[in-house]
Structure 1
Amino acid sequence: MRDFLPADKARRERVLAVIRERYRAHGFDEIETPVVEEYDRLHAGIGGDNEKLSYAILRRGLDADAIRAAADQPAGLSDLGLRYDLTVPLARFYASNRGQLPGVFRSIQIGPVWRAERPQKGRYRQFVQCDIDVIGDDSARAEAELVVASLDTIDALGLDGGTVRVNDRRALDWMLDSFGFAGPERPGVLITIDKLDKIGSQGIVAELRDRGATVAAVDAFEAFLRRPRTTEYHPYGERQIRAALPEGAPDDVIAHLVGLGEAVAAARPAADGADPVPLAFDPFLVRGMGYYTGTILELAHPSVDYSLGGGGRYDGMIGRFLGQDVPAVGFSIGFERIVDLVADRERDAASAVVLVHDADVPVAELLAHKAALLATGGVGRVRLEQRTKNLKALLERASADGYTTFASVRAGDAVGAVELRPLG
C-alpha cells in the first residue's frame, strides 16, 4: 500500500479523467459500490485464487473467549471482507438494483481493491481497478463495445497501437475434450497451458507429464503443437480462428468470435498498411478468472511485454445472486500499469503559479494577489511560498509538483501587476 506525493496524485487523476471521459463517451455510466462485501459472497467460489488473498473483517462484538473458541475455524470470525475485485460487487449490485436499470446495462466502476499479495515489484496490496461491463446482452456486440471503448481510451492516453488477444472458454473446453483430458484434471491443465508464453511448448508438455495428466491426451496435445503450419498470413476472422484450432471446432463459438471481429472492424477503420482489425485469436489464452464462460480478452501493447488489461464473459455469476441467469461480460484496464507508461505531457492548460513572497508582505495583500491571478482565467492554481535563502531549491520543488511559472511579491506591489516568469 502506497502514499502518493502531490505530483504523482495529479498524474493519476489526469489519467483517470481521460479513462472516465472516453468510457462515458461510449455510453457507459459510472456506479459506486461499497469497499466492503459480505464474507460469504466474497468466498462463494467465483473469485478464483483471489479469494485466498482477501482481507477479512472480524465480526463486531467478539471477545477474547469467542476468538479462542473459533481459532480452528477462522472463517467463522468474519462476516465482512474488503473487496478483492470489482466484478463480484457488480454482480451483487445488479441483483439488488435490477429494477432501476436498463435492460442492457453498461457500467463503469473505478475504485481501490485489496489483496493480501506478497510485497514485490508490481504487486500491490491496494490498487485501483477501472472496469467496464455490459450486462444483459449475450451477443458479440457486447464484447465489441468493450474492445472498441478500451482501445479508444488507450489511444486517448497516447498509447495507440494496442491490440486485443481473443479466445473463448468454450473453445478451450472443446479443445481439451478433443485431446482427451478428463474433466477433473482440466483446471490444472489450464494452469499449465497459461504458462505457454513463459516456458514454451516443450515446457508445457513436460509439465503436463509431470502433473500426471492423461498420457494419451498429452500425446495428442503435443502432436497438435507440432503440426505443420502454413506461413500464409490471415487477418483476424474465420480462417485465422479455424487454422489455430483442431478440426471440427464448434461453429457457434467460431461465429461468435467472427462477429466480434466484424463489429470491431466496422467501428475502427484500419489505417493504411495496418491490420484490418486490431484483434488476434490465441487458442491458448486462458487468464486466471475461473468464472469466465465464453469470450476471453487481453489487451497488449508493443511497448511492453505484459498485458495492459483484460476481461471476459461471465454469464453464470449474476445468477448466483439473482436466481436466474443474466449474460454479462467485462473488461478491466490495468490502471497501475498504464499510469506508469503515459507520458507526463498533460500539464494543466492554464498555468500554475508560485507566488514567492517576502516575510513582511501582509496576508491581505498576498490573498489579493492570489485572487487577482485566479480571476484572469489563464491561471489554474496559485501557491504561496515564503522566500527562502535557497530560492533555486524552492523553485525546483515547485516545478516537480507541476507548477509552470512563478512571480516575486514584495510589500506594497500593485495587485494584478506581478511579473510571471517560467520555471526551469
Structure 2
Amino acid sequence: MANPVNPPRGMRDFLPADKARREHALGIIKRVYRAHGFDEIETPVVEDYARLHAGLGGDNEKLSFSILKRGIRPEQLQAATEAGNAEQLADLGLRFDLTVPLTRFYASHRAELPPVFRAIQIAPVWRAERPQKGRYRQFVQADIDIIGEPGLLAEIELITATSQALAELGLQGCVIRVNDRRILFGLLEHCGFPADTHDRALITVDKLDKIGAAGVVDELREIDAASAERLGEVLAAVEPALEGGGIPLERAAIEASLPGAAENPGAATGIESLATLGDALNGALPEGVSVRFDPTLVRGMGYYTGTIFEVAHPGSGSSVGGGGRYDGMVGRFLGQDVPAVGFSIGFERVVDLIDLPERTGPEAVVLVHDADVAFDELFALKRELVAQGHRVRLEKRQKNMKTLLARVAGEGFTSFATVRAGVREPGELELRALDG
C-alpha cells in the first residue's frame, strides 16, 4: 500500500532549495534561447488519444497515461480490460513529450505564425516509466524547435543556442555527438541488410552502449548473419576513435571512419551535410562545449529523417540532451511535408549537475523579532527593505537561535538582524552575515 504522505510513485516534491536550483536553470535556458530569437509557446497538458497514438512518438506511445471518457462505469472498465481493449474507453491522454503537441500547435496556427517559426517549450511531460534513478513519471523537458527551414541553418541555430545555454549553466566538458540518419541507412545498405530490415536493425544498434558491439552483432545475426559480421567490423574499427575523444566533424575524418560505406549515395549525402555543419560550427561554440561525429548514434525515435544529435557530459551516465530533424511529422497533420528540427535539453539530468551561484546584489535578510514588537513597526521595516530590493523573511526569536540561523542560511538567506520594539528604520538595524 502506498504511503499516503508521499507523492505518487515516480513523482517528486521539491524543497525550497531544490526549487531555487530549478528556477535558476530555467531562467538561464529561457534567457539564452530568447536571445537567439526563439519565442515561448504553451500547449495543453493533454492531447487527443488518437493524436498521441498516431505513430509519431515511437515507443513513448506505449508509456502514455490515458484519460478515460467521462461517465465510464467500473463494470465497463473491467469488461474492456478483460477483453484487452481498455484503450477504447479513453479519449484523451497526458502528453509524453513536447514534439507531438508542437506539431499539432503548428498545424492549428500556421496562418498566424511566421514562415520560419522558432519555438521554445519548457514544461512537464508524463510517461508511465518504471521508476528508477534518473527516470521519473513526471519530468520537465526544455525544447527549442525550428519549423519551416529546410536547410542546415536550422541545425546550426539549434546547436549554437543550446551549446551557449549549457555553457552558461556552467556545464564544462559537454560533447555534442552528431550523426545523420541517411548515413546510418547507407551503412546498413553497405553491410548488406535488406531495406525492409533497416528500422529493426537500428533498434538493435541503438543498444550499443547497453549490450556492447558483440551483443549488437549477436542480435543482428537473427536478421542476416553475414551483414551482422560486416557491421561488427565497422563498429570495431571506429571504437578506438570514439573512446579516444571522438571523430572530428570533418569530411576526411568522417569518410575515413566509414570505409566503403561513404560511397553509398545516401550516406554520401549525409556526409556532405555533416561536413558543411562542421565547417559552420568551427569556432562558433563556447568554451567547454565541443562537437564530434559518432557513426553509432541512432536516437531511438523512428521519425528522424536527417541530422541527429545528442549531448554527453562526464558527470552523467546518460545523455543530457538530444534531438534531430523530423521533416515528416508536421505533414501528418497538414497533408504536406514541412521541414522541422528540434533540440531538447534533458532538464532533470542537467539540474542535478549544477550549483546555485553565490548571491550578489541586494541581501536576503531575516528579521528576527521579539514578541513585543508592534506589527506596524515590523512591517514598516519589511516594506522599506523590500522596496530597496532585498528579500526579507520574518522569524520569531527562538531559544535555540543557532538552529534557526543554520536553517535560514541553508535556505539561501545571507544576513540577519534582531528587531526590538521601537525600531522602524532599516538604518537602525545591525545586519550580520549568516556565514559569520
TM range (shorter): over 0.9
Query: Residue 261 in 1 paired to residue 278 in 2?
Result: yes
Task: Find the residue that maps to 2:248 and give its secondary structure.
Answer: coil
Q: Is the 8 A contact 1:244 1:282 kept in 2?
A: no
Q: Is the 8 A contact 1:114 1:127 kept in 2?
A: yes
- Give the structure 2 partner of residue 249 of structure 1: 264
Residue pairs, 1:261-300, within 5 angstroms:
261-265=278-282, 267-268=284-285, 278-300=290-312
- Of residues 324, 329, 350, the one that matches 2:336 is 324
Query: Residue 421 in 1 paired to residue 432 in 2?
Result: yes
Structure 2: 5+ residue stretches without partners: 1-10
Q: Is the 8 A contact 1:135 1:329 kept in 2?
A: yes
- Give the structure 2 partner of residue 20 of structure 1: 30
Residues in 2 aligned to 1:180 and 1:234: alpha-carbon distance in whole angstroms = 25
Residue pairs, 1:94-243, within 5 angstroms:
94-209=106-221, 212-226=222-236, 235-243=248-256
**C-alpha spacing 1:223/1:414, structure 2 compared with 1 (3 Å):** closer
Query: Residue 409 in 1 paired to residue 426 in 2?
Result: no
Q: Equivalent pairs: percent with the same residue?
A: 59
Alpha-carbon shift at residue 207 of structure 1 (Å): 2.9
Alpha-carbon shift at residue 224 of structure 1 (Å): 3.0
Residues in 2 aligned to 1:408 and 1:317: alpha-carbon distance in whole angstroms = 61
**Which residue identity lines up with residue 302 of structure 1 in the other structure?**
P
Q: Is the 8 A contact 1:56 1:82 kept in 2?
A: yes
Residues in 2 aligned to 1:104 and 1:282: alpha-carbon distance in whole angstroms = 29
**C-alpha spacing 1:78/1:389, structure 2 compared with 1 (3 Å):** same
Residues in 1 aligned to 2:392 and 2:195: alpha-carbon distance in whole angstroms = 64
**C-alpha spacing 1:156/1:225, structure 2 compared with 1 (3 Å):** closer
Q: Which deviates further from its counterpart, 73-82 or 182-191?
A: 182-191
Alpha-carbon shift at residue 69 of structure 1 (Å): 4.6
Residues in 1 aligned to 2:307 and 2:352: alpha-carbon distance in whole angstroms = 28
CA-to-aligned-CA distance 1:172-221 (integer Å, 9 cap, x gap): 11111221223443333222212223433223222323xx1211211222
**Which residue identity lines up with residue 254 of structure 2 in the other structure?**
I
Q: Is the 8 A contact 2:248 2:293 kept in 1?
A: no
Residues in 2 aligned to 1:84 and 1:230: alpha-carbon distance in whole angstroms = 36
- Give the structure 1 partner of residue 357 of structure 2: 345
Residues in 2 aligned to 1:306 and 1:223: alpha-carbon distance in whole angstroms = 26
**Which residue identity lines up with residue 242 of structure 1 in the other structure?**
E
**Which residue identity lines up with residue 341 of structure 1 in the other structure?**
L
CA-to-aligned-CA distance 1:318-338 (integer Å, 9 cap, x gap): 000111100000000011111
Q: Which deviates further from its counterpart, 410-419 or 83-92?
A: 410-419
Count of aligned pairs:
415
Q: Is the 8 A contact 1:311 1:331 kept in 2?
A: yes
Q: Is the 8 A contact 2:238 2:257 kept in 1?
A: no
Q: Is the 8 A contact 1:242 1:249 kept in 2?
A: no
Q: Is the 8 A contact 1:164 1:280 kept in 2?
A: yes
Residues in 2 aligned to 1:236 and 1:178: alpha-carbon distance in whole angstroms = 21
Residues in 2 aligned to 1:92 and 1:52: alpha-carbon distance in whole angstroms = 20
**Which residue identity lines up with residue 215 of structure 1 in the other structure?**
A
- Of residues 5, 10, 25, the one that matches 2:15 is 5
**C-alpha spacing 1:374/1:339, structure 2 compared with 1 (3 Å):** same
Alpha-carbon shift at residue 266 of structure 1 (Å): 5.3
Q: Which deviates further from its counterpart, 75-84 or 248-257?
A: 248-257
Q: Which deviates further from its counterpart, 410-419 or 113-122?
A: 410-419
Q: Is the 8 A contact 1:167 1:283 kept in 2?
A: yes
Residues in 1 aligned to 2:360 and 2:13: alpha-carbon distance in whole angstroms = 23
Alpha-carbon shift at residue 287 of structure 1 (Å): 1.4
Q: Which deviates further from its counterpart, 399-408 or 224-233?
A: 224-233
Q: Is the 8 A contact 2:247 2:294 kept in 1?
A: no
Residues in 2 aligned to 1:86 and 1:165: alpha-carbon distance in whole angstroms = 22
Residues in 1 aligned to 2:77 and 2:193: alpha-carbon distance in whole angstroms = 45
- Give the structure 2 partner of residue 400 of structure 1: 410
Alpha-carbon shift at residue 68 of structure 1 (Å): 4.2
Residue pairs, 1:359-398, within 5 angstroms:
359-377=371-389, 379=390, 381-398=391-408
Residues in 1 aligned to 2:423 and 2:367: alpha-carbon distance in whole angstroms = 12
**C-alpha spacing 1:234/1:37, structure 2 compared with 1 (3 Å):** closer
Residues in 2 aligned to 1:78 and 1:84: alpha-carbon distance in whole angstroms = 16
Structure 1: 5+ residue stretches without partners: none
Task: Find the residue that maps to 1:359 and give its secondary structure.
Answer: coil
Alpha-carbon shift at residue 279 of structure 1 (Å): 1.6
Task: Find the residue that maps to 2:139 and give its secondary structure.
Answer: strand
